Amino acid sequence: MKIRLGTFNLFQFVEPPYSWYIKKDKFTKLQWEEKTQWIKNQIILMDCDVIGFQEVFSCDALKNIVSELGFKYFEITDTAKISKDNSNVYISTTVAIASKFPISNIKEVKAHIPSIKKHNYEGFFKFSRLPIKATVIFPNEQEVLIYICHLKSNRLNEFEYTFKIEDSLEHKKSLINKALKNKYSSSLKQRLCEASSLFFDIKKEKNTPSVLMCDLNDKEFSMTIDALCNDAYHDEKRKEKLVLFDAYTQYEKILYNPHPEQKDIKRTPTSFFAGKGNVLDYIFISKDFNKKNKNCIAKVSNYTIYNKHLKENPDGSLLKSDHAQVVCELEFK
């Protein structure tokens, strides 16, 4: 049995006459029809059983779309907020999950207070977008926890470090701690608190297979990934022990006609900013799907990036999306 899971940032999914953030930013009826038709086509192309969505403002409109495409189950944990000054303007967004299989339970991901204190967070903490934690029952009666999240973005363009694969956790922490202490980036602090809260929620569910699909709003090899996946980030006395694994690393990529000096395959960006590509969209899996675990119940049999629209226009289009869609296929034993 194969199960396909996908993550899809819809990019300002706001049904007219509503606007996003400011009154003038809204779609005409024809633009909305074009955008929703493209989204339908992408969902068909992705051919998924479960999809996590980000940047959802108009939840009912999305529910109608996925219902037409065979997703019988649809859930949200929050609703987008409306401006007090204008009832036609949304000022916040949310995430959603659509599934062809039953969703038996929805639970709240709570803030992990010790992590909030450890990061010296000032004021009352709450997720920038409330995550989804859904129990999905697959056809083989296997229950899997599906987390959908959209972590804090860096809209203020505050200074943040970019790391490489060879950078150690200790090196990254030394720089990040300095940045947080000197208040270089409040967005990063928020994101690390969100990732840490998710880490401890997933860790406590160690007896249930888990998948997290997200717009991480942070780059490959970032500290956010360590906070989300690595026990050693949270406890310096522990050796590196991963609670989640990047599904991309679990799939053996095929390289056709490689250059003789090429040693590996460069990871495909899922979003662009100022002409530079970044990997922001991820699917993480628990040890239950890790191919190195002899007791795994399924393995990653495919990992695909749907980015044709970004090849045509790297900055994306409001009538499409500014993110690529990511799909991970799990093959059960």
Write down the pLDDT at residue 38.
98
Residue 110 exposed, middle or buried by CB count within 10 Å (0-12, 13-18, 19+): exposed
Residue tagged 């803030």 (tokens):
111
User: Cα–chain-centroid distance for residue 97?
Assistant: 12
Q: In the chain, which stretches have pLDDT less than 50?
A: 256
Write down the pLDDT at residue 184.
80
The pair of structure tokens assigned to 177 is: 């701690």
Write down the pLDDT at residue 236.
79
Write down the pLDDT at residue 159.
84
The pair of structure tokens assigned to 290 is: 């890790």
Write down the pLDDT at residue 59.
97
pLDDT tens for each residue of 234-274: 987 777 789 999 999 999 775 545 555 555 678 999 999 88
Cβ-contact 200, 144 below 8 angstroms: no
CATH code of the domain made up of 2-332: 3.60.10.10
pTM for this entry: 0.94
CA distance 120 to 110: 18
What residues contact residue 328 under an 8 Å CB cut-off, 6+ apart?
A: 4, 5, 6, 211, 247, 251, 283, 285, 300, 302, 303
Looking at the DSSP bridge assignments, the partners of residue 149 are: 214
What residues contact residue 122 under an 8 Å CB cut-off, 6+ apart?
A: none
The pair of structure tokens assigned to 113 is: 């207070």
Write down the pLDDT at residue 266.
84
Write down the pLDDT at residue 254.
56
